[in-house]
Every structure is written in structure tokens, then in C-alpha cells.
Amino acid sequence: MNCCKKLFMILVVIAVLILNPNYILAKSPNKSSSVPIAPTLLTYSNLTSSEATLNWTSSYSAVGYKLYRATPYDSNYTLIATLTTNSYKNVSLKPNTTYWYFVKAYNSYGTSLDSKHISLTTSGLSTSKKLVLGYTTYYYSGDTSSYNSMVSNTSTLDEVATNTYTTDSYGNISGLVPLNQITYANSYGIKTFAMITNNFDGAIGKTLLESSSNRTRLITNISNALKTNGYKGVNIDLEAIYYYDRTYLTTFMNELYNTLHTQGFYVTIAVPAKTSDSSSASWSGAYDYAALSNASDQIVLMTYDEHYPGGTYGSIASIGWVENVIKYASSVIPRGKILLGTAAYGYDWSSSTAKAYGISGIYNLALTTGSTINWDYISQTPYFNYISSTGISHSVWFENAQSLNYKLNLVNSYNLSGIAIWRLGLENTDYWTSIKTKFNR
């Protein structure tokens, strides 16, 4: 009887195999018996004021995907879709809002790690015009560097701020006025600002700002200079202000704004980059972003010199640092007022000195030293090293069109007003090509 049962079972198996030859394959363990890897190349497209399409590369052995979203910051995610495809159209989004996304792949063995986290900002970015401000210099009579750049890029420039006036402790200003720059810009509809500096001197700032009469004198002198030379507004660049003069700086900007706005002038200010607010921070404590934005038409974030002469060598503006500055600034300043500062230069550090070069000068340095230009994927900036003829090691870090592209992506993603270039005359043709491409100019 047992023999008959065994024979019967064998005949059944044979019959199944004849009728379904794929049975064994179908029942065999999956050779990819493991959790899938995280999806790659998460991107977005077809962005409008209310929707966006998310796409990513399929993960091997995945049977589905889980899409997560957060707003406004890269935290507090919620699952918004479980999918079997690698694309999802996210609808019913709010206008002018930043959303963050990541996706995970899953199968019967588990769920992958997060994909790269990305962000987008709704508002119809493809039709909004991004502003381009260029800082200009006029170091000596006959200096044409910034003027020539302005002429070459007239159609892409919206504003210029001439690095002209320096104030003393009592509000008196002096400087070499670049009349040809102002005249040319005004004739081509480029808005002109007079830049006011304090030579990075906190002591000048202290005496100036803590005195009502000194503040009034400076405001009067600025007003007269704007009217005399045909400027459309002012760009305040008071740096190294002592942190305990924070309230005085805000008071000055309110007084300046109230005076100049009634006369039809624009008021703008450049502020040091920071990723959070500490009123006692030695370099940035005096700059109350939120309060200053109420007394300014535009605020330039000086998102450059992350590494600077006198400090350790490194990137001029690493992409992670720049984005963190944007995250904080856009949480307290209206995005329509924010201009992202972009550098058109680099530094050559050695053990004893650091020398600045424009972009073309950097490339010439690499050529003359026989150096290979490398790319740092963490900071998303270029660099190279060389040893001088005297045996001294040098490290060169700089900005170029490629690194600028990543910054311009942030301007678009966070829907900032535009950029402010330091400075005209240091950039090259590729730099402007990046601006025209990313801003549809």
C-alpha cells in the first residue's frame, strides 16, 4: 500500500512538470533574496504653482516604492504614496512653498534606505525673472575692469552696486565715483546703487551707530550723493559691526529706509552669511535678519569666503553651507527680498600667504604651474594643488561656472529673488553662460 502511494505521488509530480515546466523555477527561492538598494537620481519636473512630477531610477529586485514628503524643512516626513512605478505626480500643492522628498524601495525582504533628499519650491518658477546684481569696483582713474564686464553683459544685468563710498566714524563719506559706470547703467535700464562701507572696522561702526547725530549725518550724506550722481538707491555694507551694536544697526537701517523711501530711493543691505541667529556671535551677531528685512528692499547674503585669507584653505562656498544659510535666511526674510551672493574668484593658499585671483587668473595659474584641476564632490567646487619653484606647497580653491550651477539651482529651488556677483570683471564667459541657462535669460 505504501509503495502504491509513493508511485502515485511520483506520477503526480511528473504530470505537474509536464503540464507546467516552470513550476520548479516559480517555486525556487529568489536569487536576489535581499533588501533592495535605495533608489537613485530622484528628480522633479513639470513644476507649477500646484503640482510637480517626481521621478527616480528603479531599484533592482524592488516590487514597489514608498514616497515621503515634508514641508517646509528636511524633517517631519509623512508617507504620501505607495507605488509600483518609479514616477509620481504630486498635486494640490500650495503656491510659493518648499517641499522635501525622498523615496524608498521595498520587497518581501524589507525596505531600502532613503534615497537622496531633494527639495522644490512651487510658484511657477519657469516664468519668474531672477534678478542679477553685479558689484563693481573703480580702484583708480581709468580702471575699466568692471565697466567692460557691464558692457559685455548688459542684457543679463538688472542692477549694479558700485563699491564707492567709505564712511568714517562721524558719517562723512568719501570715494572715487565711477561716473561712466553710473551713466551707462542708467542709460540701459540697469538699476544703480551706491555701496557704503566702513573698511571692516567695528570701531568706526561703534562710534557711528551709537550716535544719533552721526547716523543722521551719514543718512544726509548718502541722500546727497545719490541725488548728485544719479544713483537709484544705496547698498549698505557695514561689516565687522560689534555684536552689542545690533540694535543700533537696526535703528540706523530703519532711519535710512524711512528717509530715502520718501525720496524715491531703494535701500538694500549686504549681510554676513549665517545658519542660525545668535545675538552674541562675534562676526554675525549684529545682523538681525528679520528686523533688517523690514528696513530693506533687498538683502544680499554674502555666501562666500567660507574659507578666507588668514584662515585654513578650503572651498569659497561649499554647497551644503550655502544651502544651510538659505534655509535659515528664508525662514525669517521674505524670499522675494533675498539675493544670494556668488563669488567669481578664488584663493591661492600657501603656508604664509593667500592671494586672490579672478576666474581667468585661476585657470592661468593652473596652466603655468602644470596643475590638474580637481573636483571636490562634497563642496561641489573645483581645486588644485601645486608646489612652487621654491618648494612651497600651495592649495587653490575657487568658484567657476560648474560650481555656480549648483548655487543657481538653489536660487531656483528656494525661489529666491536672484543673485549678487562679487564682482564684475573677475568672472569669465562660462560664468555668464551658466546664469543665462539657469535663469532663462
pLDDT single digits (tens) 69-100: 998 778 889 999 999 999 999 988 887 788 99
Is residue 284 pLDDT above 60, yes or no? Answer: yes
CA distance linking residue 126 with residue 120, whole number of Å? 13
Evaluate whether 357 touches 348 at the Cβ level (below 8 Å).
yes
Q: What pLDDT is stored for residue 328 in this prediction? A: 96
Is residue 123 pLDDT above 70, yes or no? Answer: no
Q: What pLDDT is stored for residue 29 in this prediction? A: 41
Is residue 391 pLDDT above 80, yes or no? Answer: yes
Which residues lie below 8 Å from residue 324, measured CB to CB, with a gap of 6+? 275
Closest to 305 in 3D by CA, of 358, 347, 350, 362:
347
Average pLDDT, the chain: 91
Q: What pLDDT is stored for residue 124 in this prediction? A: 47
Confidence band of 106 (pLDDT split at 50, 70, 90): very high
Quote the cell numbers at residue 407.
Answer: 548655487
Closest to 434 in 3D by CA, of 372, 394, 416, 412:
412
Q: What pLDDT is stored for residue 10 in this prediction? A: 53
Mean pLDDT of 249-270: 97
**CB-based burial label for 256 (10 Å; 0-12, 13-18, 19+):** buried
- CA 195, 326, 344, 311 torsion-angle sign: positive
Closest to 274 in 3D by CA, of 235, 230, 331:
331
Q: What digits encode the pLDDT tens for the residues 323-367?
A: 999 999 999 999 999 999 999 999 999 998 999 999 999 999 999
Q: Are strands 173-174 and 159-167 parallel, antiparallel or unpaired?
A: antiparallel
CA distance linking residue 168 with residue 208, whole number of Å? 8
CA distance linking residue 217 with residue 82, whole number of Å? 64
Which residues lie below 8 Å from residue 428, measured CB to CB, with a gap of 6+? 344, 358, 359, 360, 363, 400, 401
Q: What digits encode the pLDDT tens for the residues 138-176?
A: 999 999 999 999 999 999 999 999 999 999 999 999 999
Evaluate whether 391 touches 101 at the Cβ level (below 8 Å).
no
Quote the cell numbers at residue 86.
Answer: 518609479
Mean pLDDT of 201-215: 98
Is residue 20 pLDDT above 90, yes or no? Answer: no
CB atoms < 10 A from the CB of 329, how many? 25
CA distance linking residue 126 with residue 376, whole number of Å? 30
Distance of CA 242 to the CA centre of its chain: 26
Range with the poorest average pLDDT among 24-33, 225-234, 312-321: 24-33
Is residue 27 pLDDT above 60, yes or no? Answer: no
CA distance linking residue 397 with residue 346, whole number of Å? 6
Mean pLDDT of 179-205: 97
Quote the cell numbers at residue 366.
Answer: 593652473
> How far lies 166's CA from each of 141, 149, 162, 214, 225, in Å?
17, 24, 12, 14, 12
CA distance linking residue 162 with residue 424, whole number of Å? 10
Evaluate whether 287 touches 246 at the Cβ level (below 8 Å).
yes
Strand-pair partners of 386: 394
Q: Are strands 345-349 and 354-358 parallel, antiparallel or unpaired?
A: antiparallel
Evaluate whether 396 touches 365 at the Cβ level (below 8 Å).
yes
User: Of all residues in the chain, what percent carry a pLDDT higher than 90?
Assistant: 82
